[in-house]
Structure 1
Amino acid sequence: MSTRVPAVTSQVIAIRPGRPLAGAVTVDGSKNAALPLIAAAAALLRPVRLDNVPASSDVQTLLDLLRQAGWNTAHPVGDSRTVLVLPGEAAPKANGLDEDASSIRASYYLVPALIALCGRAGLPWPGGCRIGDRGMEQHFKVYEAFGDRVRVDDRGYAVEAGKAVPGPVSLALPFRSRGATIAAVLRAVVAGAPLRLGQPNLSPEVLCVLDALTAVGYAYRAGERVLTLAPPSSVSGDAPVWKVPGDKIEAGTLACAVAATGGTARIEGVHGSDIGPLIAALNRMGIPTAEETEALAVHGRDTQPTGRPLRAMATLAPNGLDADFEPPLLGLALGFPGTHLFSDPINPGRHSNLIPQLARMGGEITELSSTECRFTGPQRLTGAGVEATDIRTGSALMVAGLTARGVTTLGGVDQIRRGHADLPGKLLALGADICEVTP
């Protein structure tokens, strides 16, 4: 088997069990944080420099959409991880983004920026991972609270700026939607209005946008019940420099892979506090895992399985388990004793993507509902041909393939690249027997 991941586009990832993973690797910038930061930079209508931008395809698609809509983006010479976002001089384009914008969910982040540039935004219904219905209703309530007019049809939706709402804009979300929270924050930026948002999402991806805005004079207070945002009293002429945080989901996936093989490794470039719930889950399973300075240390060779059942319950609550941690954690838990329960009410249908693929490898998992599943470990998997139907299903199947008997061939590589520019390469750097091949 090849020991090098080719640079050319391939169709299948081949994975074979080998020695325990070991060493150190640095994660890329977070896709889930980069997307709203790029949209926030566009909404300011001023030059912004973004550092540590990942090369995942969803991020590149959003940058392409910005250029289509009238912004300029550029990389400094020799620095592909830095992006300059600049207001364009050409006539703005509020529509015509249908084909590309429908390929990712994050296209909805562009609505406030398009309103700032054009006074209106017209977009197709968002696409991305096929993991159940994730509606736009809460986004539309946000825009209506700002006095905007919303129209929808089978093809997509349009938001047109209305008369400015006098005074602070106040609304409460029925649940802690990350997308709707970002929409409210960016719409407040465009309106130049104070915001009071009830039941906000306070994930690291939201907080990094709020922290970035403080660099241009905004002030915020984030509590579990209420988020407030106040505009700056004056605008600085300096171009702000924002940094995309390290990808906590990539770090968690790599940690699960290391633990699955009984390896020991240091995963660098991530805030340990961002992955506290995953660390707690690994320790509960008997895998010594600790937060270090801007890193995560996994000591899988010292694992002593506890046999305690794992209850992996994804939640939007502050400091809860991010839903994107759940699939790779499930792939790991299959090999550990206990009867484990996994729940993801945020993405109904994600289990129906993953469970049939694991069943091809011999996994025995009971799907209790569209959001819950249960299984008893340890289970011994066998390599098979499987498909990454979405980003996180792909990462879970990589974790499972590292311990399955024989070769696992994983299709759907383009799905994985939507969230990770080179996850196989990072596993290879830790000693995994993995390569990309053209079948």
Structure 2
Amino acid sequence: MSTRVPAVTSQVIAIRPGRPLAGAVTVDGSKNAALPLVAAAAALLRPVRLDNVPASSDVQTLLDLLRHAGWNTEHPVGDDHTVLVLPRETAPAPDGLGEAASSIRASYYLVPSLIALCGRARLPWPGGCRIGDRGMEQHFKVYEAFGDRVRVDDNGYAVEAGKAVRGTVSLVLPFRSRGATIAAVLRAVVASTPLRLGQPNLSPEVLGVLNALTAVGYPCRAGDRVLTLVPPSSVLEEDVPVWKVPGDKIEAGTLACAVAATGGTARIDGVHGPDVTPLVGALHRMGIPTTNEPETLVIHGRDTQPTGRPLRAMATLAPGGLDADFEPPLLGLALGFPGTHLFSDPINPGRHSNLIPQLVRMGGEITELSSTECRFTGPQRLTGAGVEATDIRTGSALMVAGLTARGVTTLGGVDQIRRGHADLPGKLLTLGADICEVTP
């Protein structure tokens, strides 16, 4: 059997239960962290090298958009995971991104970069998958605070740089939006204006951008209540800064849930330990022993002793809270554990309506309490069925569920999974999963 799942987008993933997963695997760079780092590199309008860049399709699409908008993005010979971002001396108008930009949500990260290069940005509404409203209101308030003019229509939105604001730009976000926090930080970089942002998002992905900017001379302070950024008095440009994309905490969490679901024991390398602390806490409440080291997560599934305690998996934007992208694979795992469990994702109100009907096809009995909350009692025994990945995390949850379901689970929507993971099925295969891609 091959050690890598072939990358054929017309196929479906077939999953069968088998022996407990075991061994070791290294996660790719994080899609969620790479996207804002690519945008931050572009906003500086100077050469920046990014290491550990994942080959997930969303990241490749963003790099393609940069090239179309006026940047060079180069791979060193023989190194597909390193990208050098270089601004061109002249750039085309930024109005031709169109359909490609509507295929991903993260196209909005490019607004500050386009303003830096062209003074304006015109983009379609964010797309990618069906997990609820892609609201941009907080982003628009950020740009208006910097004096920019915003126009919207049915096809998208335009942001045009206005008269520069003097002094510190101060605003408070009504909720801890990751996208709006990144927008504010990068717009401050482009404007060379001090920023004071209340109620910021302090996820590892945001902190990664702040650390990268600090490394090139931007003083940043990030507290629970206020984030501040000050333009540097001078920027050293003799050397090309090197930023490294951190390991994918969500891929690590998904693999951890898969190992635990099968009662296996495995080591997952390349993930920053504190980034998965909320997930580890949920696993411990279920009775799954784990070892969380600085760059390694070990799941001791063979020693699991189910507690029967209810699991409350509540996605939140609060610092140190459970990332919403951990919730779907945890749900797939918790179906097999005793207790009455409550899951909540108020951040992505359409995600449960994607995932729950697919699990019901497999025999899951789940009560939807609202568009963002559901409850179920385990353990449940699922049966393989034909299901669809309507978004990245629904696909990962269905893979976890399929590893313990009776019979064969066939999972469509492979392109959705590849948006976030270049080869998640291949990593499961490395750990011994009975998984492959087949022609329908």
Which residue does the alignment assign to 1:240?
Answer: 241
Determine if contact 2:217/2:232 at 8 Å carries over to the other structure: yes
- Mark the runs of 5 or more structure 1 residues left unpaired by the alignment: none
| Residue 212, structure 1, aligned to residue 212, structure 2 | yes
Shift in Å, 1:3: 6.8
Per-residue deviation at 1:239?
A: 1.2
> Which SS does the other structure have where 2:432 is aligned?
coil
- Contact 1:94 1:122 (8 Å CA) reproduced: yes
In structure 1, distance between residues paired with 2:227 and 2:208: 14
What is the TM-score normalised by the length of structure 2? 0.99
Aligned to 2:286: 285
> Could you tell me how far 1:293 is from its partner in structure 2?
2.7
Rounded to whole Å, the distance in 2 between the matches of 1:191 and 1:404 is 54
| Corresponding residue number in structure 2 for 1:70 | 70
Residue of structure 2 in register with 1:398 after alignment = 399
Match of residue 132 from structure 2:
132
Paired with 2:126 and 2:351, the residues of 1 have a C-alpha distance of 17
Matched AA of 1:395: S
Tell whether the 8 Å contact from 2:119 to 2:161 is kept in structure 1 after alignment: yes
| Structural mapping, 1:145-160, within 5 Å | 145-160=145-160
The CA distance in 1 between the partners of 2:242 and 2:96, in whole Å, is 30
Q: How does 1:15-414 map to 2 (within 5 A)?
A: 15-237=15-237, 238-414=239-415
Bigger CA drift: 90-99 or 76-85?
Answer: 90-99
Three-state SS of the structure 2 residue aligned to 1:157 is strand
Deviation at 1:11, TM superposition (A): 1.8
Name the SS for the 1:283 alignment partner: helix
How far is the alpha carbon of 1:10 from its aligned partner? 4.2
Deviations 1:239-291 (A, max 9, x none): 11000000000000000000000000010000010010000000000000121
One-letter amino acid of the counterpart of residue 218, structure 2 = Y
Q: Is the 8 A contact 2:3 2:426 kept in 1?
A: no
CA distance in structure 2 between the partners assigned to 1:289 and 1:137 by the alignment: 40
Distance 1:33 1:5 in 2: 25
Contact 2:188 2:195 in 1 (8 A): yes
Cα distance between partner residues in 2 of 1:385 and 1:7: 20
Counterpart residue identity of residue 191, structure 2:
A
Name the CA distance, whole Å, in 1 between partners of 2:206 and 2:294: 22
Give runs of ≥4 in structure 1 deviating > 4 Å. Answer: 1-4
Please give the secondary structure, in 1, of the residue aligned with 2:158. strand
Give the superposition deviation at 1:29.
Answer: 0.3
Amino acid at match of 1:145: A
| 1:218/1:229 contact within 8 Å kept | yes
- Which letter does structure 2 place at the counterpart of 1:130? R
1:417 aligned onto 2:422: no
Q: How far is the alpha carbon of 1:7 from its aligned partner?
A: 4.1
TM-score, structure 1 normalization: 0.99
SS at match of 1:297: strand
Between the aligned partners of 1:108 and 1:5, the Cα distance in structure 2 is: 32
CA RMSD of aligned residues (A): 1.0
In 1, distance between residues paired with 2:152 and 2:5?
44
**Partners of 1:201 and 1:9 in 2: CA distance:** 35
SS at match of 2:313: strand
How many residue pairs align between the two structures?
439
Residue 128 (structure 1) shift: 1.3
Check conservation: 2:22, 2:432, Cα contact below 8 A. yes
